[in-house]
A and B are shown apart, each in its own frame.
Chain A
Amino acid sequence: MFWVALSAFIMTLTGEGDDTFLLRRFLDRTREAVTEQVHDAARKQQALDALDRTSKAFHQHRLRTGKISECIEQADRKFSSTAADYQRCLSDVGPAWDSAAEQLITLSNEFRRALTPAELAAIRQHAVK
């Protein structure tokens, strides 16, 4: 989904990685744009549902990766930590991203299917302003 591009753009600019606030603001602007640009009630609802589920998927992914972060922080803070302690933390990195990727692909396709190319272009323009 194109919001990822904005997130990546921000990451590139700041060099500091993920910025969850701007990503959420971007999703809010996309919701506004869908509400304004899509006049067919059924398709509008489909697009908004896809965005809501994208937002929830993002939160779920961050909850899952947050647990990895907490685990790594615990290992970082213990002088006696071993490689095995860290490996336990890292075991969910791949599965967490794989799951998020599949959700992103599904929701992105749903979002695009709900919109005409003209609507999608207008929403994109509004959302990245």
Chain B
Amino acid sequence: MRIRTQRSSLSALVALAALASALFACGGDKPPAQLPSTAARDRVATRVELVDLVVSDPARAAKVRSLYIAMDELLLDTKRVQARQLALVGSDQMSSDEKTRAALSAVSKAEASGLERYMQLQLELRRFVTADEFARLDAIR
């Protein structure tokens, strides 16, 4: 259920991104890059349900799928932490530069720690796939 919800959410984002691309294209402008955690999540989210097509061994496929799900959830959690901190920056409670700096530092730390854990999961993934399976998973866009 959670995966389905996330897939729907992803579809909505893709539709929005397409709209944004179209609008920027009309203006001859290029949309700004996404944050690294957002771009990474987009990549792994597309692979979760396709692992079985690439990894034939059920035990390894289950492990690989669980790693992709862990990456997806990790990066989504990172976005939530960042959103909470950015909401603080935008609120009336942010009465000083120091408080703003602290909240933005928390956003940065969330990005760094999220990507650090993502890196560990990516490296672990390589233990459960062959080079050929890895290349086939990489080909999924």
Contact = CB atoms under 8 A, between A and B. Distances in A.
Interface centre among A2, A62, A68, A97 (most CB of B within 10 A): A97
A87 to B, nearest CB: 8
A27 to B, nearest CB: 12
Interface in A2-19: 2-9, 11-12, 14-19
Contacts of B36: 65, 68-69, 72, 89, 93
B89 A21 contact: no
Given A11-B86, A17-B79, A81-B122, A62 B135 contact: no
24 contacts: A3-B90, A5-B86, A8-B86, A8-B90, A11-B79, A12-B80, A15-B79, A16-B79, A17-B79, A18-B38, A66-B32, A69-B34, A73-B40, A75-B119, A76-B138, A79-B135, A81-B123, A82-B123, A83-B119, A97-B105, A97-B107, A101-B101, A101-B108, A109-B97
Interface of A: 1-9, 11-12, 14-21, 24, 58-59, 62-63, 65-66, 68-69, 72-73, 75-77, 79, 81-83, 86-87, 89-90, 93-94, 97-98, 100-102, 104-105, 108-109
